[in-house]
Amino acid sequence: MEHEGLIQRRGPYRSGARRCQRERFLRPASLGASSRAPDPADRLRAPLCAAHDRPRRPDADHQLRQGAQPHSGAGEGRPYRPAGDGGRPRGGRLLRRQAGGRLPDFGAQARHLQRDARRRHRPVPHPRPLDSTGLRSALITGASSRLAAPLARFFAGRGYALLLHQRSPRKNVAALAAELRDHGTAVEVLTFDFATREKIDAFCAGLAEPFGVPEAIVNNASHFVHDFPGGGDANLLVESFMVHMLAPFLILETACREKREEQKISVFNILDQKLLNLNPDYYSYTLGKSGLQTLTELWGRSGRADVRAFGLLPGLMFPSGPQDEARFAEDAQKIPTGRALPPQDLCALIGFLLDHPDMPGALFPMDGGEHLLARRRDVAFE
Structural domains in the chain, CATH included, are 1-124 (no CATH), 135-381 (3.40.50.720)
The pLDDT of residue 340 is above 50: yes
Q: Is 212 left (phi over 0), alpha (psi -120 to 50) or beta?
A: left
The pLDDT of residue 299 is above 90: yes
- C-alpha–C-alpha distance, residues 114 and 108, integer Å: 9
pLDDT, tens digit (0-9, with 9 covering 90-100), for 32-59: 444 555 555 555 554 444 444 455 555 5
Mean pLDDT of 208-216: 97
- C-alpha–C-alpha distance, residues 297 and 363, integer Å: 8
pLDDT, tens digit (0-9, with 9 covering 90-100), for 68-115: 555 444 444 454 454 444 444 444 454 444 445 555 554 545 555 455
Please give, one letter per residue, the 3-state secondary structure of 330-367. HHHCCCCCCCCCCHHHHHHHHHHHHHCCCCCCCEEEEC
Cα 263 to Cα 134, 161, 212, 215, distances in angstroms = 11, 16, 11, 8
- C-alpha–C-alpha distance, residues 131 and 206, integer Å: 17
pLDDT given at position 105: 52
The pLDDT of residue 184 is above 70: yes
pLDDT, tens digit (0-9, with 9 covering 90-100), for 252-275: 999 999 999 999 999 999 999 999
110 versus 175: the higher-pLDDT residue is 175
pTM beyond 0.75: the answer is no
Mean pLDDT of 170-199: 97
pLDDT given at position 379: 80
Helix (H, G, I), strand (E, B) or coil at 307: strand
Contacts of 206 (CB under 8 A, 6+ apart): 190
pLDDT given at position 63: 54
Apex CA 305: angle with CA 302 and CA 308, to 5°? 75
Mean pLDDT of 335-339: 91
- C-alpha–C-alpha distance, residues 171 and 251, integer Å: 25
Mean pLDDT of 213-237: 96
- C-alpha–C-alpha distance, residues 376 and 382, integer Å: 8
The pLDDT of residue 62 is above 60: no
Q: Residue 9: beta bridge partners?
A: 21
